[in-house]
Amino acid sequence: MPKLIKQIALPCCLVATWVLLCAMGGQSGPSSLTNPKVNYNATLEDIDGRNYKVSAFNLAGETALSGKLGRGTLRVDFAQVAVLEFADDDDAYLTVTLASNEGDKVDLEIRDSTSFYGTTAAGLLQLRARDLKRVTIER
């Protein structure tokens, strides 16, 4: 009987430990949308011309933008970005022209459903890339 208990208990303990370790992932969810690692203030302009001043500007909790550059992927931290300008390509992707703080420009392709977030006085704002015209990150 004790040998049978050991044969059952050990696998059960291993599975329980695995489940607990898997649950210890990084920060994600709503708190990362309102409290990203770095706080950037930005002005977002939508395609209708309405401006939104936000703090805690982020992309799903991240403070960097990743997009296709040719066959590669380029990831640029918001600390290096002055302006993002969006141009719809009439498919699932759109072109973002990224202007760096030094004035250099690069075109990236991102999904038009990519969500950008920021905190306003009224609450958390979410705008999809396809609804944005311009984002200015303030220094």
Q: Is the pTM of this model over 0.85?
A: no
Give residue 18's pLDDT band: very low, low, confident or very high (50, 70, 90).
low
Distances (CA, A) of 134 to 2, 58, 66, 98, 137: 69, 14, 17, 10, 10
Bridge partners of residue 115, in order along the sequence? 128
Which amino acid, residue 6? K
Which amino acid, residue 58? N
- In angstroms, the CA 52 to CA 49 distance is 10
pLDDT tens-digit series, residues 73-119 = 999 999 999 999 999 888 899 999 999 999 999 999 999 999 999 99
Determine the pLDDT at residue 16. Answer: 56
**Contact criterion met (CB below 8 Å) for 111 and 129:** yes
Is residue 4 predicted with pLDDT exceeding 80?
no
Q: Would you kindly state where each structural domain of the chain is located, as residue ranges?
A: 30-137
- Choose among 58, 63, 108: nearest CA to 87: 108
Determine the pLDDT at residue 32. Answer: 82
Phi and psi for 11 in degrees, rounded to 5? -60, -35
Determine the pLDDT at residue 22. Answer: 54
pLDDT tens-digit series, residues 26-60 = 544 556 888 899 999 999 999 999 999 999 999 99
